[in-house]
């Protein structure tokens, strides 16, 4: 993904492509409890929705059971509640959507946009990086178990350009060549689970999401998701990719890196710290206020344009985090 010039990007540009009703969402995978990095995403998406008088939805992205942690989905919801991040509508669970994903795959298959792929890890190591379309070009019958791959370029009935361009609200103008920088994508894994790339777009369409505010680690997969929206005949949402919170050693704060769980008893301070991270300049005296007072201030003063682009080390006082 290359970053282009951003001088010509205005918020109006980004917003003009949005459907009229603002619908944002926070879509955590239940692979562990919420940590400071996930609070930043939850809070920024919540504040942006609320400051636009929009809806804010919560979706649990639970389509990858091997990566899930028992009880994590509930603990995430309790943590959001403790931080008074109240969602609209009922919580949406991806695990209830398998029929919808299957129907979508059937439609894509009808158009010959999908093919079987049984490349092993070893096969893929021969040409690491972008998938070169080995199974796309194979004439022989592909034996199961196989994955399903979606063609991202040279479609039989051409529907979209292989060069995707979009304006990210925070990161600026982005361009990606799907052939050389993404390659055909797995939409159903050989173990039978649906791929994130399929599920996320199908559900964002189903939930009529107009704005996606999430971490910068997903910037690189955004072009293929936009392509997928277009393939399914839907208008892509407006995107804003937030800087990532890093640990002092420079690694991303993540569940995989065992980032500590947020301490719900310190919700007001956690939110204050997250606002500080998001360059919103919360007044110091707000540190002694209630959760609702901090949130009210934040909704009234929220400015997406203040959020910096660069990842940075999160300032997290030990006291704010639960001891493991």
Q: Name the residues that contact ligand GLU, by CB under 6 A.
A: 27-29, 61, 200, 214, 218
The neighbour count for residue 83, using CB atoms within 10 Å, is 24
Whole-number Å distance between alpha carbons of 201 and 203 = 5
Distances (CA, A) of 259 to 31, 195, 245: 12, 25, 11
Q: How far is the CB of 284 from ligand GLU (least distance, A)?
A: 32
Distances (CA, A) of 61 to 147, 154, 263, 307: 20, 31, 23, 26
HSE at residue 252, side-chain half, CA atoms within 13 A, is 15
**Which residue's Cβ has the minimum distance to ligand GLU?**
61
Q: How far is the CB of 244 from ligand GLU (least distance, A)?
A: 11
Q: How far is the CB of 301 from ligand GLU (least distance, A)?
A: 25
Q: Which is nearer to ligand GLU, 31 or 270 (CB)?
A: 31
Q: How far is the CB of 243 from ligand GLU (least distance, A)?
A: 15
Q: How far is the CB of 234 from ligand GLU (least distance, A)?
A: 15
Q: Which is nearer to ligand GLU, 62 or 184 (CB)?
A: 62
Q: Which is nearer to ligand GLU, 29 or 176 (CB)?
A: 29
Q: Which two tokens stand for residue 228?
A: 């997928």
Q: How far is the CB of 45 from ligand GLU (least distance, A)?
A: 9
Within the chain, residue ranges assigned H as helices are 11-16, 36-51, 72-82, 98-110, 121-126, 178-181, 196-206, 222-231, 267-277, 291-301
- Tokens 């603990």 label which residue? 75
| Cβ within 8 Å of residue 126, ≥6 positions away | none
* Coil, helix or strand at residue 55: strand
Q: Which is nearer to ligand GLU, 28 or 183 (CB)?
A: 28
Q: Which is nearer to ligand GLU, 34 or 135 (CB)?
A: 34
Distances (CA, A) of 147 to 42, 108, 193: 32, 14, 9
Q: How far is the CB of 26 from ligand GLU (least distance, A)?
A: 8
Q: How far is the CB of 32 from ligand GLU (least distance, A)?
A: 10
Q: Which is nearer to ligand GLU, 30 or 183 (CB)?
A: 30
| Cα angle: 151, vertex 152, 154; to 5 degrees | 80
Q: Which is nearer to ligand GLU, 41 or 270 (CB)?
A: 41
Q: Which is nearer to ligand GLU, 219 or 269 (CB)?
A: 219
């Amino acid at each position: 993904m290359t970053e282009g010039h951003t001088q010509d990007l205005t918020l109006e540009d980004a917003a003009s492509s949005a459907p009229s009703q603002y619908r944002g969402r926070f879509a955590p995978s239940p692979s562990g409890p919420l940590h400071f990095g996930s609070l930043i995403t939850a809070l920024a998406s919540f504040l942006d929705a609320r400051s636009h008088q929009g809806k804010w939805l919560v979706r649990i992205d639970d389509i990858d059971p091997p990566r899930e942690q028992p009880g994590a989905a509930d603990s995430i919801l309790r943590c959001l509640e403790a931080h008074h991040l109240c969602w609209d509508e009922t919580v949406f669970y991806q695990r209830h959507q398998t029929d919808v994903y299957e129907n979508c795959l059937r439609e894509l298959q009808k158009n010959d946009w999908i093919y079987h792929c049984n490349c092993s890890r070893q096969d893929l190591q021969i040409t690491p990086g972008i998938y070169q379309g080995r199974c796309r070009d194979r004439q022989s019958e592909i034996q199961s178990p196989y994955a399903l791959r979606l063609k991202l370029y040279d479609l039989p009935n051409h529907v979209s350009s292989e060069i995707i361009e979009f304006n990210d609200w925070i990161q600026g103008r982005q361009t990606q060549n799907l052939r050389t920088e993404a390659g055909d994508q797995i939409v159903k894994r050989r173990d039978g689970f649906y791929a994130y790339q399929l599920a996320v777009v199908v559900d964002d369409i189903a939930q009529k999401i107009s704005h996606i505010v999430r971490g910068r680690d997903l910037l690189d997969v955004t072009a293929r998701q936009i392509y997928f929206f277009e393939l399914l005949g839907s208008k892509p949402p407006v995107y804003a990719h937030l800087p990532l919170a890093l640990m002092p050693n420079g690694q991303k704060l993540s569940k995989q890196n065992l980032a500590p769980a947020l301490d719900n008893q310190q919700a007001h301070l956690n939110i204050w710290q997250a606002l500080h991270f998001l360059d919103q300049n919360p007044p110091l005296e707000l540190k002694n206020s209630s959760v609702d007072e901090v949130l009210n201030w934040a909704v009234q003063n929220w400015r997406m344009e203040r959020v910096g682009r660069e990842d940075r080390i999160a300032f997290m006082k030990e006291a704010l985090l639960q001891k493991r």
